[in-house]
Amino acid sequence: MLCEGRLLLKSVPGRGAVAALVFKDGGGAGMKAIIVDDEPLALAALYQALLEAVPDAQIFSFTGVREAMDFARRNAPDVAFIDVMMPEEGGLSLGRALTSLYPRANVIFVTGYKEFAFEAIAMHASGYLMKPVTADDIRREMAFLRNAVNSAAARICVKTFGGFEILVDGKPVHFSRSLTLETLAYLVNKRGLSATSSELVAVLYGDRGCTDSVKNQFRNIVADIRKTLTQVHAAEMFVRYSNFLSVDVARFQCDYYDFLDGKPDAVRAYASNYMPRYTWAEPTLALLNSLQAQFTRVWDG
């Protein structure tokens, strides 16, 4: 469910651009969209139109091409709404870079100039909108996206009962570090809520403290997550912005989440064996044990 959206504008030293991010509570469950326009008022209007058209969307807003691309490299968008007339590299260049990085990303160009329509069509954009953009305009384009949104959820499976494992297309994903897997397990346990780097360091390293050596090791863990998930085309399940890390719960299927939704197969599969390797998972284990008893009483009653 979407919290009240708010546009946060931040000056970027030396670039003359302003980056704006719209936060959502718990990461949301809808499509992930980025919107890019160098005019803050136009950006705000586009945000409001998109919010009206797709209320459960996760919307990340930027007035700079570089900031938008930097974010996209860490967070695969389903849809990108990009103003054509952008400073720096330009909106068309950003669209090409996004589709090169994520071939299934839907790029919709937004502009007040009709002469750019041919170039947008030539690069196989998903859509082309003329300003001012309305919610109805966006709904129309969303009905004809080139690539389905959230199709990754069927490919990525996360198992938490009996251990922790990530499977993509039915094959286990192997990370180079055991702490990489634990980091992802902790984030899955948080169900889309963000964890700070310092919180994760405390969980992973305990009394060792946040030394330079530990910080370096944690940076390597984050790099391992991004590299490995990118290699198996599952980078979209991991979200990082600044010092905050989370998982996008709409991007994968998980037995733990299915259990909480009361799905019978998941409840029956549970045998008091939630992530047994991790002591920090014990509160969730207790919760699941209690819920299973309640489900059983209801079904037997």
- Average pLDDT of the residues in 59-81: 90
Taking residues 116-126, what's their average pLDDT?
Answer: 66
CA separation for the pair 46, 61 (Å, rounded): 9
Split at pLDDT 50, 70, 90, the class of 300 is: low
Give the mean model confidence (pLDDT) for residues 111-119.
69
Residue 127 backbone phi and psi in degrees, to 5: -165, 175
Helices (H), strands (E): how many in the chain?
11, 14
Confidence check: pLDDT of 18 > 50: no
- Measured CA to CA, the distance from residue 149 to residue 106 in angstroms comes to 9
- Joined together, the tokens standing for residue 139 give 């709904």
Counting residues of the chain whose pLDDT is more than 70, the rounded percentage is 83
Could you give the angle at the alpha carbon of 62 between the alpha carbons of 56 and 68, nearest 5°?
100
CA-closest candidate to residue 194, choices 264, 244, 240, 236 = 244
pLDDT of 122 reads 61
More confident residue, 87 or 260: 260
Burial class of residue 96 in the structure, from the number of CB atoms within 10 Å of its CB (0-12 exposed, 13-18 middle, 19+ buried): middle
Q: Which has the minimum average pLDDT: 69-78, 117-126, 189-198, 281-290?
A: 117-126
Count of other CB atoms within 10 angstroms of residue 84: 21
The Cβ of residue 80 has, within 10 Å, a number of other Cβ atoms equal to 26
- Does the pLDDT of residue 86 top 90, yes or no? no
The answer on pLDDT for 3 being more than 50 is no
Asked if residue 136 has pLDDT above 60, the reply is: yes
Alpha helices in the chain (DSSP H): 40-53, 65-74, 91-101, 117-122, 135-142, 178-189, 197-205, 212-231, 255-260, 264-269, 282-300
Q: Is it the case that residue 50 has pLDDT exceeding 90?
A: yes
Q: Give the predicted TM-score (pTM) of the model.
A: 0.55
Q: Which residues contact 207 (CB under 8 A, 6 or more apart)?
A: none
Please report the pLDDT score of residue 10 as a whole number.
40
Band (23; pLDDT cuts 50, 70, 90)? very low
| Model pLDDT for residues 182-241, shown as the tens digit of each residue | 999 999 999 999 999 999 999 999 877 678 889 899 999 999 999 999 998 888 899 998
Cα–Cα distance, 36 to 105 (Å, whole number)? 15
Could you tell me the pLDDT band of residue 265, with boundaries at 50, 70 and 90?
confident
What average pLDDT score do residues 71-94 get? 86
